[in-house]
A = this chain, B = another copy of it.
Amino acid sequence: MVSQMLADGRRQILDILGPGRLLHASVTDVADSTAETLSPTHLERRKLLDPLASSELVEAVLLMLRRAQHHATLLGRKTALERVAYAVLDLADQFGARVRGLAYAEVIFRLHLTRNDLADWMGLTGETVSRCLNALKRQEIIGFDTPEIILIKNLKTLEAAAGGDRPSLVARGTHPATHP
């Protein structure tokens, strides 16, 4: 998780990095920016000498940029429900696994964020996030028994609720989408 903190305690989470994502120091070396883990994490250092790694780095920074700009549009112009729907979709892309026994369009994944984390990511409050998640649940679009494990029951409707436009904003990395 990459986040920024304002002097008075307001926090904005800038990005959630799932398996396979790359992180460059230039992102965290800005004043008031920090990176933290939200779950047990395996980190690898990339050497910059390797030209392959260098292009990999440029790709990673450009991905961060595209995600940051898309996120800005979301924060500036989307409603609470659209934001929460989008957060679920993005986390599903990054952490989701297609599971045997689920219908084709169903995805299940573990939220590594609390409601308040989601709020600080989406520019909302924890209460609003909770209300939106439960609204989606009542509409049978998603499901959860414990607050941590989210099941997407109707992907198409969820994407519609997110407001449509969702360009591919995941790492094209070689990492398989397996994660506890």
Contact = CB atoms under 8 A, between A and B. Distances in A.
A122 interface: yes
Interface in A120-169: 120, 122-123, 163-165, 167
Contacts of A12: 72-73, 76-77
A79 B165 CA distance: 27
A116 interface: no
Contacts of A164: 6-7
Interface string A23-40: 000110011110000000
A22 interface: no
A99 interface: no
A65 B123 CA distance: 19
A70 interface: yes
A79 to B, nearest CB: 10
Number of copies of this protein chain within its complex? 2
Given A64-B65, A68-B65, A14 B165 contact: no
A33 to B, nearest CB: 7
B27 A65 contact: yes
A19 B76 CA distance: 25
A66 interface: yes
A69 interface: yes
A26 B73 contact: no
A122 B32 contact: no
Nearest to A75: B75
A4 B70 CA distance: 8
A4 B69 contact: yes
Nearest to A169: B30
Contacts of A32: 165, 167
